[in-house]
Amino acid sequence: MTKLHVQKIDTFSGHRDCVYALQPALQPHHFFSAGGDGMVVHWDLTRPDWGEVVAQLPTSVYSIAYDSEKNQLWAGQNYEGIQRIAPYEKQVVSSARLTSAAIFDIQFFEDQAFIALSDGVVLVMDKNEFSVRKHLKATAQSARCISINPHTREFAVGYSDHRIRVFGLDDHLLRYTLESHTNSVFTLHYSPDGRYLISGSRDAHLKVWNISQKYELHQDVVAHMFAINHIVYSPDGQWIATCSMDKSIKVWDADTFRLLKVIDRARHAGHGTSINKLLWSSFDNHLISASDDKRISVWDIKTV
């Protein structure tokens, strides 16, 4: 039986409001954050006392996405569209008020950007031209999260109507509609090998969908006390981490989906409010968490 040792390494403070988004940066030990204060901040895992504001946007930022090819950050402003930022130059390269809806997620694949909006629309953009290719609207309720499967060339979208919809990456046509959650689907993640789709919801359930069986429900885990806000895989694909409105992070075996570790305030001096986002860095296998408490915590996770 695998046993994990967890140690809190650092706490990064500087945001003045809830932290909603985390993204990797050009160097493995760097990352970006954004939140309700409109600040986009560049951090260094080796220097917890250092943080650099690369953009100050006028509204809350729920989602950022890093384009490693161009070394640019896309930031989704609440009701103000998208800005492309050159983080090291601290410059806004371009901006587009594509929507008046809130932007909950941005994901890249090849030359496309997929953007989940609060009005139920998923925008498909040309990443290089920074222009809209298509509007996909399957429901009037919010599109909350997106995950991409390069193996099957599909992408899945979680919605506030409790459903997950799977579309083709090339034709953008609807292929599957998955119904099992009883509340909004806040987070999705395809497994690195493309075998499973993992979903987390406001209903606190973690669900595992078998892709080879036409997305048949493979496993249903009552994972948290309250809403699951985000799911990430470890860099080696062995573990899954989930975070929740219940103020905890949980680490799971990626093969069996068995719970391995609970990280919370009582056991590990964790966050005191809802944990919104995770980033599992390849730098020393550090897990990074962002919370409503305005702080970012860094966790060292090792097998005993």
pLDDT at residue number 148: 98
| Tokens describing residue 57 | 């946007």
pLDDT at residue number 1: 66
pLDDT at residue number 39: 96
Q: Which residue stretches of 196-258 are H helix?
A: none
If phi > 0 it is left, if psi is from -120 to 50 it is alpha, else beta; for residue 31 that is beta
pTM of model > 0.85? yes
Nearest to 236 by CA among 176, 170, 288, 302: 302
Q: What topology is assigned to 20-231 in CATH?
A: Methylamine Dehydrogenase; Chain H (2.130.10)
Residue 168: partners with Cβ closer than 8 Å, 6 or more residues away: 153, 154, 175
pLDDT at residue number 179: 96
pLDDT at residue number 166: 98
161 alpha-carbon distance from chain centroid = 19
Which residue positions in the chain have pLDDT lower than 50? none
pLDDT at residue number 96: 87
Please write down the HEC assignment for all residues of 51-114: EEEEEECCCCEEEEEEECCCCEEEEEECCCEEEEEECCCCEEEEEECCCCCCEEEEEEECCEEE
| Distance from the first to the final alpha carbon of the chain | 10
